[in-house]
Structure 1
Amino acid sequence: MISEQDVQAYKRDGVIVVPEVLDATTLTQVRSVIAELVAGASNTTEHTEIYDLEPGHNAESPRVRRIKTPHKVHALFNDIVRSPAVLDILKKLIGPGLRLHGSKLNMKSARYGSPVEWHQDWAFYPHTNDDVLAIGVLLDDCDLANGPMLVTPGTHKGEVWNHHGEDGCFAGLIDPDTIKSEIERAVPCMGRAGSMSFHHVRALHGSAMNTSDRPRNLLLYEVAASDAWPLMGVKDFDEFNSRLLSGDPVIAPRMTEVPVRLPLPPAKRQGSIYETQSAAKKSYFTRAA
């Protein structure tokens, strides 16, 4: 699925987009599952273990901005990240031993899909080494109009910015005034439905509100090398190993010299990045809008 040039581009920029990895049949199946899940959200008025709701959500017009851990919600999402095509790409970018760290489905509905402020995933889940990346599966055609993910090339090799608020608690975003030049250099991850982006865990990224009349659903998987262990600990070793995508269990974490800021004290608002970021006094995309 990818060439050696693609691998080198990922190492240089910290992000690549691979065209149309998912086939049309799988896309149709995914969209059907999502429609059922969104319809099911009409039965709740609050965030749950599955749903993170948009402001303005109600039973008559359900608005969902995230499906949490979709690989646990429906088998299809688990099958996608374990497919031969995806594993082939991951092994070339990270190595033979792979573990799924987590998953989420960010849903930017037409005309109101929420933005995600500038951040580095590394701030949320630092590991013993940074052979960690996120896959972004484009479930809709994505262009500049419907809020694509923006990534700044090369930032995966630089500093880990402060993601804490003025109160000292983790806020899940970076003060945009400190990264003006990096924001100006950001590039959009766009493509036809079924394409996938792969961005390094330390790459700076964010996305604006969807102001178009088209949806922009993005299925995200976080994948780590099997010898990269989360610094916040492993609560259930059997569950931890159940997320292996390839390779054997590892009990000797590989330690590398990487900059780390722990997400502690924890955010005052928990549940999703949207909730965590909502407590911050400074933002970029809301202010820009």
Structure 2
Amino acid sequence: MLTQEQINFFHENGFLRIPQVFSEEEISALSDSLDNLIEDWALTSPGWSGPWRDVYFDEELEKQVKLTAMHDLHFYSDAWMRAVTHPKLAGCLAQLLDSSVELHHTTMHIKPPQTGHPFPMHQDDPFYEHTNGRFIDTLVHLDDTFHENGEIRFLAGSHKMGKLPHVLAYPDGTPCTPHLDPEEYKLEDTVAVPAKRGDVVVFHIYCIHGSYINQTKEPRRMVRMGFRDPHNDQVAGQSNGRPGLIVHGYRERRGEEELLKIT
């Protein structure tokens, strides 16, 4: 369980590192499963598009940067299904949301060695927009993170700014991956949150964050799991319209609300 000091820190800053949520046995099983998913299912690509790339990369590096990713790991692996329903994690999230907790998604983010994809400053809401901010993203760390491999970084307290307009297109109107203006929101202004294997870093859906490139000889393996108050309705984006597992508490009925549509 979280202390009141930890809960206060989260609400003040918009993020929190929770040490050793997963035991060594649990994280080893997740690590093995993740490696299998990378081998069998994940896709490696140049990563996020957008004008931010001209600011972050020179011409040569821009061609080399790669990101390995896939969605919904818990549909492919019993280890990851156990992870999303982990009692310790679910209990912590219930404390932070002060409500029942519904799973929204899981997404693998792997930064390959030496040229592993950095992330420009952004909020997560543009990717899966919800009615309000009662949504917490969690980062499960399969490896220790530090500056050289691109640990997560946050603009402390930025969740209090609410939803912000993001860059959604190139100057010619071609759509791109949502991100904040890199000239206005800079990684050097953020707080680094290095973490250990088995730790979880949680953050508010409006908290601005990003990370540097992985410069090491090993991949930086991390999985994001999104959770929400079941009554925080989604507006658009990833997994819109799909109900999630209740991992803590109970889905209260609102008025004459209809049964969930699973198909």
TM-score when scaled to structure 1?
0.74
Q: Given that residues 153 and 185 in structure 1 are in contact (C-alpha distance below 8 angstroms), is that contact kept between their aligned partners in structure 2?
A: no
Q: Residue 85 of structure 2: which of 82, 90, 112 is its match? A: 82
Mapped to 1, the partners of 2:38 and 2:210 lie a distance apart of: 24
Structure 1 residue 178 corresponds to structure 2 residue 184: yes
Structure 1 residue 130 corresponds to structure 2 residue 121: no
Compute the displacement of 1:38 (Å). Answer: 2.6
Unaligned residue ranges in structure 2 (runs of 5+) = 47-65, 256-263
Q: Residue 153 of structure 1: which of 152, 156, 176 is its match? A: 156
Count of matched residue pairs? 233
Superposed, which structure 2 residues align to 1:1-289 within 5 Å?
1-40=1-40, 50-55=41-46, 65-163=68-166, 164-165=168-169, 166=171, 167=173, 169=175, 171-180=177-186, 183-232=187-236, 239-240=242-243, 242-250=244-252, 252=254
**Amino acid paired to 2:33:** V
Unaligned residue ranges in structure 1 (runs of 5+) = 41-49, 56-62, 254-289
Where 1:133 maps in the other structure, the secondary structure is strand
Mapped to 1, the partners of 2:180 and 2:240 lie a distance apart of: 28
RMSD of aligned alpha carbons: 2.4
Q: Given that residues 68 and 104 in structure 1 are in contact (C-alpha distance below 8 angstroms), is that contact kept between their aligned partners in structure 2?
A: yes
Which aligned runs of 4 or more in structure 1 are off by greater than 4 angstroms? 233-236
Mapped to 1, the partners of 2:178 and 2:106 lie a distance apart of: 17
Mapped to 2, the partners of 1:37 and 1:125 lie a distance apart of: 23
**Amino acid paired to 1:227:** H
Compute the displacement of 1:70 (Å). Answer: 0.8
Where 1:172 maps in the other structure, the secondary structure is strand
Compute the displacement of 1:168 (Å). Answer: 7.4
Compute the displacement of 1:170 (Å). Answer: 5.8
Deviations 1:134-174 (A, max 9, x none): 00011101111111111111100014332222327463111
Where 1:104 maps in the other structure, the secondary structure is strand
Compute the displacement of 1:211 (Å). Answer: 0.4
Mapped to 1, the partners of 2:181 and 2:100 lie a distance apart of: 35
Compute the displacement of 1:249 (Å). Answer: 2.9
User: Percent of aligned pairs with the same residue?
Assistant: 21
Compute the displacement of 1:128 (Å). Answer: 2.0
Q: Given that residues 38 and 64 in structure 1 are in contact (C-alpha distance below 8 angstroms), is that contact kept between their aligned partners in structure 2?
A: no
Q: CA 1:111–1:235 in structure 2 vs 1: closer, same or farther (change >3 Å)?
A: closer
**Amino acid paired to 1:111:** Q
